[in-house]
Chain A
Amino acid sequence: MIDKAEEPGRTILDVQGLTVGVGDTPTTVVRGLDFSVGSGEIVAIVGESGSGKTMAARAVLGLLPPPLRVTAGAIRFEAGPGSGSGARDVAALPPAALRKIRGAEIGMVFQEPMVSLNPSMTIGRQMAEGLKLHTRLSAAEIRARIIAMLERIRIPDPERCLAAYPHEFSGGMRQRIMLASVMLLKPRLLIADEPTTALDTLVQREVLDLMVELTRENGTAVLLISHDLGMVSHYANRVVVMQEGDAVETGLTRDVLSHPQNAYTRRLIDALPRRGPAAPEKAGGAPLISLENIVIDYPGRRTLFASAGPKRAVDGVSLQVAAGETLALVGASGSGKTTLGRAIVGLVTPSGGEIRFRGTALGDRTDAAAKQRRRDVQIIFQDPFSSLDPRQRVADIVGEPLRLEAGVTAAERAARVRETLEEVGLGPDFAARLPHQLSGGQRQRVAIARAIVRRPAFVVADEPVSALDMTVQKQILTLFRDLQARYGFACLFVSHDLGAVEQIADRVAVMENGRIVEFGDRDDVFDRPQHPYTRSLLDAAMLLDRTFARA
């Protein structure tokens, strides 16, 4: 943990009244933004998508996508001795001078490690690029520096890494490499735009700790862009909260989180995961769904000459879900949790073991049983942008499952659709809309409506909120809980996000490498984790810093 009271050093970046407009139109995406970052300090700009936080950062780099441009304000950057010291206004610099500063003096790490490294260049060449451009070091010196840096970030076998291509590394490794190649140049300012959003919890923590470590020793100022207030509370000295282009609140992280002045900030803080009420004792009885020793293999890639062995995604899992309860399946990406969820709804066929629904084996494909199961077991997918047919209107999407019900007339169907839409918080005017006309949260509401319209007994929710903004996440989780209370369906909640799990789960199963390593009531697992993997997951979870939680 960083000492948040540390005195900020000399001001590196000073932004006054920054306004970003669209071409010559009066539309603005950032209005009168003021903030400054001192050396060795981490300042976070926090906001939801569309708040203008990314555009503010891009303005500092002089990388606004046309037709956006800085229409007012000053961006003073204190350049180092290398490029003529003294504060200068970045917004007024000619492109050539800006290029000199970019990279050498201001480094940037982007959100997507998958695309920010060039897939056709070796790591060595990509890391050397900046040094070649901005320093006069010889090839041997450059190589030595890169290897030292790779050792520093604990990449195993740095020599081999130089000749490797980005696809040979995992997302977290790539982001570490990206960070390392930016920090090689010892920039005075690092801009990190959602640097870990695409990564899962454990890796997120590693990358951010590395970022702090590397910037701390150079006294680099850090401008961190994020939507995740929980994460920010662990790292940033100061925060700027943005909403629709305006900075609504600025101050020390501690003050802003414990005494938010602005209504929007309060809403953001409220949206942070808090533990939901403890599970009421569910009456025992036959489990709704029971998995016995499930094994799922993915066939190995067949190449011309050899065929790789099958990959075991799920390795002997046994689980039971009782009627009405929410079981959370937690694990890092690649742990097999999504595959298991897909097996329950029949999208993946297990290679071993048995899934029983109300006592009947899922393998039983007799018509009546299969049909009934389809009604009773539904799924909500992670990405509401791809789980809705782009050509169907909302009413058709929600009404489609009802077409499979014998004896439901068109009028009844329309009534049920209207009623279900209302239940998920969408008015009747949404019925005629197409998916692209909806926001992410609204789309996920439609997906939920589609899943519950036939009153299923069991719903698999596969990371249902991880693609959404924080405040929307909160709304969707609350909605989900309410619907569950009303209709009593059981749920398998698949997630890597412990914050969401804490809010909604009755019981928790932790999965690692295809096996369940810990299983228990939510409060037991969160408060008294037994398995080291569970402990490391909990450690890494960017839950709101408990020091602020008392507020």
Chain B
Amino acid sequence: MIATAFNLPRLRVNRVLGGTIVALLIAVAVFGPYLAPYDPLALDLKARLQGPSTAHWLGADEFGRDVLSRLLYGARTSAWIAFATVAFSITLGLAIGIAAGYFRGWTDRLLMMVNDALLAFPGLLLALGFMAVFGASRWGIIVALGIAYTPVVVRVVRGTVMSIRESEYVEASQVMGNPEATTMIRHVLPNCAAPVLVLATTMFGWIVLSESALSFLGLGVPPPAPSWGNMLATGRPYIGQAPFLVIFPGLCISVTLLGVNMFGDALRDWLDPRMAA
């Protein structure tokens, strides 16, 4: 009773602010192109590196392209890549993690050996390797980052599955006569939701940052198409003259991360039956 009283305001902030930011992000990703005042690829050399003004609200980049328009278009690219990558590696990770945690024995040992070997490499390095294979395209980025981050998901899922497997309600389901697959889907999987959701929202942040890093290294979304990551990267040489070129994309990334993480917390609490009074 006391605990809920303390938690309530924080919960509401998560839900309201997180929800608003995520809704905004989706709206921008969907309607961005209609809202953008300029063509994101239109060059205007006269406006080169111009600061924010009434013509260009958020300024213009080194080729005189409108920063606001590029951010709006970039939202679509960045959000899409992040969502798709998270979905990809959560799906893959859930499948592998559940197989390992459930069958245990040799299956587990083999899967974990490969998984731990992959975990030993920094995610970005791994992604770079895959990018070399898949080539620098949207799909290449999604698959490369997706595979690179899967081992983390596998670890979390396997641990959760193993602990849930031992619980008495799973044993009760076995004694009842449920087939193993039913036990898995009805009792084990739903109880994995909380940790996986938290991981998914955290990963969303890593992916946006990794995509920026890849773009920064010239392996991300190929120019001239805008993404928040490559805008950040291409703005870097002009940081002294036109700091807004990195500030605005940076701000977009930070606010998105904050919103997604808060939304994730709210979602986890909402899905947790113990929180519903």
**Which residues of A pack against B, CB within 8 Å?**
22, 67, 345-347, 370-371, 374-375, 377-379, 381, 383, 386-391, 400-401, 404, 434, 436, 447, 450
Contacts and interface: CB of A to CB of B under 8 A. Distances in A.
A390 B191 CA distance: 8
A387 B172 contact: yes
Given A390-B191, A436-B273, A379 B169 contact: no
B169 A67 contact: no
B191 A450 contact: no
Contacts of B167: 386
A390 B274 CA distance: 8
Contacts of B202: none
Interface stretch (B52-60, B174-182, B222-230, B251-259): B174-182
Contacts of B187: 389
Given A379-B175, A387-B172, 7 more contacts: A381-B172, A391-B190, A400-B176, A404-B176, A404-B178, A447-B172, A450-B176
Contacts of A450: 172, 176
B191 A347 contact: no
A391 B191 CA distance: 7
Contact of B168 (A22, A378, A381, A400): A381
A434 B273 contact: yes
Contact of A386 (B2, B168, B174, B177): B168
Contacts of B116: none
A384 B178 CA distance: 20
A120 B26 CA distance: 51
Nearest to A405: B177
B171 interface: yes
18 contacts: A67-B2, A345-B175, A346-B175, A370-B177, A374-B176, A379-B175, A381-B171, A388-B172, A389-B191, A390-B191, A390-B273, A400-B173, A400-B176, A401-B176, A404-B176, A436-B273, A450-B172, A450-B176
B177 A22 contact: no
Contacts of B177: 370-371, 374-375, 401, 404
B169 A386 contact: yes
Contacts of B172: 379, 381, 387-388, 447, 450
B273 A391 contact: yes
A389 to B, nearest CB: 4
Nearest to A22: B2
A374 B274 contact: no
B195 to A, nearest CB: 14
A404 to B, nearest CB: 5
A318 B274 CA distance: 44
B193 to A, nearest CB: 8
A400 B190 CA distance: 16
Nearest to B164: A389
B3 to A, nearest CB: 11
A383 B274 contact: no
Interface in B233-270: none
10 closest A-B pairs by CB: A374-B177, A387-B168, A389-B169, A381-B168, A434-B273, A386-B168, A436-B274, A401-B176, A345-B175, A391-B190
A389 B177 CA distance: 16
A377 B174 CA distance: 12
Contacts of B2: 22, 67
